């Protein structure tokens, strides 16, 4: 009697193994053939089988199912996706991934999904993506899981933690595992989870900890650890907030530096109050726009081309203004103010006539787009980072030029004592023209920078002319170091005041502060020294 039962047992076991092998060996094509017959209850199990397939078509199918774009032919049972490309419907066979003609004479039926199935699809996508060979795909998938940790099972998470080699991804997976433990209700597990999340700056982690803090029935030890962890996170966020304000303040100061450095030279050497300095900035910005329009295929190199072009254009216009107007008004600062103000209006109207009054958009090259992510709460935008580096490069290049070149020596000599320089055969008239052209050229370079931060329009320069004069007066006339220090100081102070008082009131506070400062130090931070003074 025992032998027949043993034989029957082995036969049934063999059949069961054969059935399981057959189930495991279902191909992608066989699974697709089952899609038309599924419903909301059977579809998740079928999708689990799809997820086990090592087939690139699975990811595409899951994405289309999530978007509700999967259909089937009611007669042939052919499964296809339907999407719109430039307003036209496009039909693609799921099996062959080839574009097919629109089925005629029949109405396609949709493979329907509900919210429960969509949630299941997202879980499957997350499971597939966190195991992807590409670390960037894994990192993006893990970051998405932080917002909803229930998308991944604890067992799968534990398996992935053991295999993950990338330190950043491993840290995020550990945070997700800790977020799972926060809801366990076990005091020791919650304490371990809170300790794991200590110092984590991810916004989703902070939100989860704050939600846990609002619960009434929490053990005292858990609440104390939670309060301590949140206090540490808030302190770090505050420090990085200050660091972000300093970075944006330095970037704003860099723009002011470029806008004011040319004015510091001309004002210091010639004593001219140049109200048309802002229009030199505007001409530099429009030069950038013209270069991009003239060479649309060279956007990546347009800024590199625009820097020397803007310097030459604005510098040439500056020399023309100096030779035609300024040289006849030396020693009469109020008349130069009125004359240059009139020139600024002429240049603005000229630009309106040529380019129209509308603002122009200057495209940013690819290498200036995006940001450098330092941590989840602090990032540095590439365009502002490059502006800071470029401004400092221009500043130190100008310093070297004034120290080492013969023209720089003459400029410094005329700035210190014009009469003595003329007695030593320095042609002060040509030095004035060269100085005015140099200052205007640097203003044009500032316009190239500003084209990446704001729209280019006829009134662009008017927004910076007053700030430029404030920088020059605060730093000290004809002092390049004073211009650098004052530009950075005003930029940082503005950025710290704006979140508290608003931009308008912040500007007023800075202006009033400068008035009181000039009452005490009329010559600025770095006054000129010597017998001539």
Per-residue pLDDT of the chain (533 residues; tens, 9 = 90+): 445 544 444 444 444 444 444 445 578 888 888 888 888 888 888 887 877 766 778 878 888 888 888 888 888 888 888 888 777 888 888 888 888 888 877 888 888 888 888 887 877 777 777 777 788 888 888 887 777 777 777 777 787 788 888 888 888 888 888 888 887 777 888 888 888 888 888 888 888 888 888 877 788 888 888 889 899 999 999 999 899 989 999 998 998 898 888 888 877 667 778 888 889 999 999 999 999 988 888 888 888 899 999 999 999 999 999 888 888 887 777 888 888 889 999 999 999 998 888 888 888 888 888 888 888 888 888 888 999 999 999 999 988 888 888 877 877 777 666 777 777 777 777 877 888 888 889 999 999 998 888 888 888 888 788 888 888 888 877 678 888 888 898 888 888 888 788 877 888 888 888 888 888 887 777 766 654 44
Predicted confidence at residue 80, as pLDDT, reads: 86
The Cα diameter of the chain in Å comes to 132
Q: With the CA atoms of 279, 281, 286 and 288 taken in that order, what torsion angle do they form, in degrees rounded to the nearest 10?
A: 170
Predicted confidence at residue 528, as pLDDT, reads: 62
**Adjacent-strand bridge partners of 380:** 372
Predicted confidence at residue 299, as pLDDT, reads: 86
Distance between CA atoms of 458 and 456, rounded to whole angstroms?
7
Of 191, 273, 163, 86, the residue nearest 209 (C-alpha): 191
Q: Which two tokens stand for residue 469?
A: 């004069």
**Adjacent-strand bridge partners of 143:** none
516, exposed or middle or buried, with CB in 10 Å at 0-12, 13-18, 19+?
A: exposed
Judged by DSSP in three states, 424 sits in: coil
Predicted confidence at residue 14, as pLDDT, reads: 45
Residue pair 73/80 in contact by the 8 Å Cβ criterion: yes
Q: Which two tokens stand for residue 523?
A: 């010559």
Half-sphere exposure of 248 (CA within 13 A, CB side): 15
Alpha-helical (H) ranges within 103-165 are 115-129, 135-146, 154-163
Predicted confidence at residue 499, as pLDDT, reads: 79
Q: What pTM value is reported for the model?
A: 0.73
Residue pair 146/205 in contact by the 8 Å Cβ criterion: yes
Distance between CA atoms of 7 and 9, rounded to whole angstroms?
5
Judged by DSSP in three states, 324 sits in: helix
Q: Give the number of other CB atoms < 10 A from CB of residue 520.
A: 6
Judged by DSSP in three states, 83 sits in: strand
Predicted confidence at residue 392, as pLDDT, reads: 92
Q: Residue 330 CA to chain centroid, in angstroms?
A: 47
Q: Give the number of other CB atoms < 10 A from CB of residue 85.
A: 8
Strands 109-110, 70-72: pairing kind: antiparallel
**Adjacent-strand bridge partners of 273:** none
Distance between CA atoms of 103 and 85, rounded to whole angstroms?
17
Distances (CA, A) of 49 to 23, 24, 30, 45, 509: 9, 8, 11, 7, 67
Q: Which two tokens stand for residue 394?
A: 């221009």
Predicted confidence at residue 96, as pLDDT, reads: 85
Q: Which two tokens stand for residue 73?
A: 């032919």
Who's near 300: CB < 8 A, 6+ residues apart? 365, 366, 367
Q: Give the number of other CB atoms < 10 A from CB of residue 113.
A: 21
Predicted confidence at residue 36, as pLDDT, reads: 86
Q: Which two tokens stand for residue 58?
A: 């699975």
């Amino acid at each position: 009697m025992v032998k027949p039962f043993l034989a029957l047992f082995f036969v049934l076991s063999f059949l069961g193994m054969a059935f399981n092998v057959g189930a495991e060996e279902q191909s992608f094509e066989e699974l697709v053939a089952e899609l038309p017959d599924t419903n909301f209850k059977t579809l998740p199990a079928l999708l689990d089988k799809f997820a086990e397939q090592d087939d690139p078509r699975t990811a595409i199918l899951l994405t289309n199912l999530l978007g509700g774009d999967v259909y089937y032919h009611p007669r042939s049972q052919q499964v296809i996706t339907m999407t719109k490309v430039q307003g036209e419907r496009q039909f693609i066979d799921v099996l062959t991934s080839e574009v097919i003609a629109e089925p005629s004479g029949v109405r396609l039926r949709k493979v329907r999904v509900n919210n429960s199935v969509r949630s299941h699809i997202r879980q499957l996508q997350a499971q597939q993506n966190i195991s992807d060979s590409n670390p960037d795909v894994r990192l993006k998938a893990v970051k998405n899981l932080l917002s909803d940790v229930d998308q991944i099972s604890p067992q799968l998470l534990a398996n992935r933690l053991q295999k993950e080699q990338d330190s950043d991804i491993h840290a995020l997976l550990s945070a997700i595992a800790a977020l799972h433990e926060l809801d366990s209700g076990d005091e020791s597990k919650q304490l371990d989870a809170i300790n794991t999340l200590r110092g984590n700056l991810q916004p989703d982690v902070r939100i989860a900890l704050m939600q846990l803090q609002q619960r009434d029935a929490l053990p005292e030890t858990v609440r104390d650890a939670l309060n301590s962890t949140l206090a540490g996170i808030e302190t770090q966020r505050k420090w990085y907030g200050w660091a972000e304000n300093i970075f944006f303040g330095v970037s704003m100061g860099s723009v002011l530096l470029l806008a004011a450095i040319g004015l510091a030279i001309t004002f210091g050497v010639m004593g001219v109050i140049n109200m048309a300095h802002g229009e030199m900035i505007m001409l530099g910005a429009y030069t950038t726009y013209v270069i991009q329009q003239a060479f649309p295929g060279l956007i990546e190199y347009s800024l590199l081309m625009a820097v020397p072009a803007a310097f030459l254009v604005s510098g040439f216009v500056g020399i023309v203004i100096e030779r035609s107007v300024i040289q006849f008004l030396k020693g009469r600062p109020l008349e130069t103010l009125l004359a240059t103000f009139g020139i600024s209006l002429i240049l603005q109207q000229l630009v309106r006539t040529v380019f129209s009054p509308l603002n122009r958009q200057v495209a940013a090259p690819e290498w200036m787009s995006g940001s450098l992510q330092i941590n989840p709460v602090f990032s540095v935008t590439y365009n502002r980072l490059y502006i800071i580096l470029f401004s400092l490069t221009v500043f130190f290049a100008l310093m070297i030029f004034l120290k080492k070149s013969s023209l720089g020596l003459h400029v410094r000599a005329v700035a210190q004592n014009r009469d003595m320089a003329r007695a030593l055969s320095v042609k002060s008239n040509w030095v004035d023209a060269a100085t005015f052209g140099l200052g205007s050229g640097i203003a044009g370079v500032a316009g190239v920078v500003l084209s990446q931060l704001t729209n280019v329009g006829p009134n662009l320069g008017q927004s910076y002319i007053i700030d430029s004069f404030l920088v020059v007066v605060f730093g000290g006339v004809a002092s390049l170091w004073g211009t650098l220090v004052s530009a950075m100081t005003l930029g940082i102070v503005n950025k710290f005041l704006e979140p508290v008082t608003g931009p308008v009131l912040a500007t007023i506070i800075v202006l009033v502060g400068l008035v009181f400062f000039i009452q005490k130090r009329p010559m600025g931070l770095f006054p000129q020294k010597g017998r001539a003074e």
